[in-house]
C-alpha cells in the first residue's frame, strides 16, 4: 500500500525536485503539500507548489496548504540561495497561477489530514519547522495521530551552512524546531552531514537532461536542472547536492540507511550557537532518546532513485505546447 505523505516545503529547486519525484513514485500517495516560509516567502512557496502540481497533473491532486511570512533574511545564505534557485525559487521560470479557491493554512491542513487518516500519514519537512510547531499548538494530540515525521535538518558533527554550527532549516526558526524536538512526535532527523553526501556530478546532470522526454513538463524539469547546474558551477561546487531527495528516500524507505536513537535539543539563545542541534553522547548518559538520527545512507541508491524518477516525471502531466 502506498505511503500517505504530507510534504512541507519552501521550494527551492531542491525541494521542487523532491516534490516532483514523490508525485510520480507509485510507492507514495502525496495527500498534502504544505507551504512554509524559508528559502522563499510563504506566498511564493504556495505558488511554487501549485505550479509543480499542475505541471505533473497527477491522477489524484494533493491538497495544498498556503502560508504567508517572509523568506529567511540571512544575508549570506540568501545570496547563495538566489544564485542556486533564483529569487522566486524555481530558477528563471515564469508562470501564472491563480490563488487557491479554498484556502487552508498549512498547519491546519496538517492537523486535518492527520485526523482524517489517523496513524497513516507521514510528514516530510524540507523547510523550517514553523508549520509543524503551529500544528502541535492547534492539536496537542498530533503526535499520536501521525505515522511519523522525517525532518531534513540539523547537523551531527559537521559545520552548518548558515553559521558555523547551524543548518538552514533548523537555524531559520530554532524556536519551532525546539518545540518539535521536545514533543512526543516520532521524529527521524536527516542531518546535513548525511544528506550532503548524495551528489549528482555535473556529467550526471547533463546525461540526465539528455534522457528527459521532449515534453512541456520535461523541458521544465530540464530547465530547473540546468539552472541549478550553472549556479553550482558559479559557486565552485563539485556537483548538485540532493539533500531533499535523501530525506524523501528515508520517508519512503526507498533505499538503505542507518539510524541511531539519540537525545537531541536545539539551542535557541546562544549568540554564536543559535540554531545548533546539540546531541548528547556523553559516556554513561542515561537520558531518554527523543528522536532517531540518520547516521548513514546509500547515497548511490539515492542518486539512482532520483534518476529513475526524473525520466518518469518527464513523461507525465498534461501537454502544454
pLDDT, position 80 = 54
Q: Are 4 and 29 in contact (CB under 8 A)?
A: yes
Q: Report, as an integer, the average pLDDT of 45-64.
A: 93
Cα-Cα-Cα-Cα torsion 87, 10, 54, 85, nearest 10 degrees, comes to 30
Whether 100 shows a pLDDT value over 80: the answer reads no
Q: Give the torsion sign (CA, 164, 85, 103, 109).
A: negative
| Averaged pLDDT, 185-199 | 96
Q: What is the pLDDT of residue 83?
A: 62
Domains of the chain (ranges; CATH) run: 3-314 (3.90.245.10)
R_g (Cα) of the chain, nearest Å: 18
Has residue 77 got a pLDDT over 90?
A: no
Q: What is the pLDDT of residue 7?
A: 98
Q: Coil, strand, or helix at residue 34?
A: strand
Q: What is the mean pLDDT of residues 66-87?
A: 72
What whole-number distance in Å separates Cα of residue 298 and Cα of residue 51? 31
Do the beta carbons of residue 245 and residue 190 sit within 8 Å? Answer: no
Please report the pLDDT score of residue 145 as a whole number.
97
Q: What is the mean pLDDT of residues 69-78?
A: 70
Measured CA to CA, the distance from residue 124 to residue 106 in angstroms comes to 13
What percent of the chain has pLDDT above 70?
94
Distance from C-alpha of 112 to C-alpha of 110, rounded to nearest angstrom: 6
Q: Give the torsion sign (CA, 253, 26, 94, 307).
A: positive
Predicted local confidence at residue 251, as pLDDT: 98
> How many angstroms separate the most distant Cα atoms in the chain?
64
- Measuring CA to CA, how many Å separate 6 from each of 28, 78, 97, 243, 315? 10, 26, 21, 18, 24
Q: What is the pLDDT of residues 128-138, one digit of tens each?
A: 999 999 999 99
Average pLDDT of every residue of the chain: 90
C-alpha dist (Å) from residue 207 to 12, 73, 198, 200, 259: 22, 35, 17, 10, 32
What pLDDT does residue 42 have? 95
Rounded Cα distance, 188 and 151, in Å: 6
Tell me: pLDDT of 85 over 50: yes
Amino acid at each position: 500500500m502506498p505511503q500517505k505523505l504530507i510534504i512541507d516545503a519552501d521550494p527551492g529547486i531542491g525541494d521542487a525536485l523532491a516534490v516532483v519525484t514523490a508525485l510520480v513514485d507509485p510507492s507514495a500517495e502525496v495527500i498534502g503539500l504544505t507551504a512554509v516560509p524559508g528559502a522563499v516567502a510563504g506566498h511564493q512557496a504556495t505558488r511554487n507548489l501549485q505550479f509543480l502540481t499542475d505541471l505533473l497533473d497527477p491522477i489524484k491532486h494533493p491538497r495544498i496548504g498556503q502560508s504567508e511570512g517572509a523568506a529567511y533574511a540571512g544575508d549570506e545564505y540568501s545570496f547563495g540561495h538566489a544564485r542556486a534557485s533564483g529569487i522566486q525559487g524555481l530558477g528563471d521560470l515564469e508562470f501564472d497561477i491563480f490563488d487557491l479557491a479554498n484556502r487552508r493554512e498549512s498547519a491546519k491542513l496538517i492537523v486535518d489530514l492527520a485526523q482524517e487518516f489517523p496513524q497513516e500519514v507521514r510528514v516530510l519537512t524540507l523547510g523550517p519547522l514553523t508549520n509543524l510547531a503551529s500544528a502541535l499548538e492547534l492539536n496537542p494530540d498530533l503526535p499520536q495521530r501521525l505515522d511519523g515525521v522525517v525532518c531534513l535538518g540539523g547537523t551531527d558533527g559537521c559545520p552548518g551552512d548558515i553559521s558555523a554550527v547551524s543548518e538552514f532549516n533548523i537555524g531559520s526558526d530554532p524556536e519551532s524546531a525546539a518545540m518539535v524536538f521536545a514533543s512526543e512526535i516520532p521524529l527521524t532527523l536527516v542531518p546535513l552531514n548525511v544528506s550532503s553526501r548524495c551528489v549528482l556530478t555535473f556529467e550526471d546532470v547533463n546525461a540526465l537532461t539528455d534522457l528527459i522526454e521532449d515534453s512541456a513538463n520535461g523541458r521544465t524539469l530540464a530547465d530547473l536542472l540546468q539552472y541549478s547546474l550553472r549556479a553550482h558551477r558559479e559557486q565552485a561546487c563539485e556537483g548538485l547536492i540532493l539533500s531533499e531527495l535523501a530525506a524523501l528516500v528515508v520517508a519512503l524507505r526507498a533505499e538503505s540507511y542507518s539510524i541511531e536513537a539519540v537525545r537531541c535539543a536545539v539551542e535557541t539563545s546562544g549568540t554564536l550557537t543559535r540554531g545548533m542541534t546539540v546531541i548528547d553522547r556523553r559516556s554513561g548518559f542515561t537520558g531518554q532518546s527523543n528522536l532517531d538520527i540518520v547516521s548513514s545512507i546509500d547515497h548511490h541508491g539515492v542518486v539512482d532513485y532520483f534518476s529513475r524518477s526524473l525520466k518518469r516525471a518527464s513523461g507525465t502531466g498534461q501537454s502544454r505546447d
